[in-house]
Amino acid sequence: MLDFARSPAVDFPARPFQALLRRDTRNRYALFAKKADGEGFPQVAKLFRAAAAAEAIHRETHKAAIVELGGRIENFQLAEVVPASTAENLRAAIKGETYERDTMYPEFLKAAKADEATAAIRSFTFAVTAEKEHAKLYQQALDQLGKNPPADYFVCQVCGMTLTALPAKRCPSCRASRDEYKQIT
């Protein structure tokens, strides 16, 4: 059993988890969705809502992992988010997701594996798998901005995986039943 207080990697998993909770992409994307609706991009707004729903699930999985690893969830003030234009918001979202996919989660996963912190490995893996999809979907939305074709979004309530069609049987990321998928409207 991992001894959180004496974790060999200094302040792991506290530091990665606190950094994740502070990033709060859930809140950011929810605000970007409102902005997209206001600017007349309902399809992009729907994508931001889907990603926000996924990030909310990641947040809960990360919190559960903190508790499982014997850590404490600190209280803090969230940084204020001021949305820019939808094109800018999409660019910022792509930058954020790309950083998470290529740099942040790989580093966190390395630390979690060194620590054999199973709960952290699981929640980081769920998150990074979904972030890859978010980066792709955001890039598409930016490329097609103003003429975004209608699309549906489905979010796995277990792992936050975000898809444009329901999986045939199981979630491709966490293997939960397709019944765990919720359509975002």
Contact footprint for Fe ion (CB under 5 A): 131, 134, 156, 158-159, 161, 171, 173-174, 176
Least separation in angstroms between CB 179 and Fe ion = 11
Closest CB to Fe ion among residues 58, 115? 58
Which lies closer to Fe ion via its Cβ, residue 151 or residue 176? 176
Residues 6 or more apart whose Cβ sits within 8 Å of residue 110: none
- Please say which residue, 57 or 112, places its beta carbon nearer to Fe ion: 57
C-beta of 20: minimal distance to Fe ion in Å?
11
Question: Residue 87, exposed/middle/buried by CB under 10 A (0-12, 13-18, 19+)?
Answer: middle
Q: Identify which of residues 50 and 66 has a Cβ nearer to Fe ion in the complex.
A: 50
Query: Shortest gap between Cβ of 64 and Fe ion (angstroms)?
Result: 15
Give the nearest distance from C-beta 153 to Fe ion in angstroms: 12
Q: Is the omega angle on the peptide bond into residue 16 within 30 degrees of 0, that is, cis?
A: no
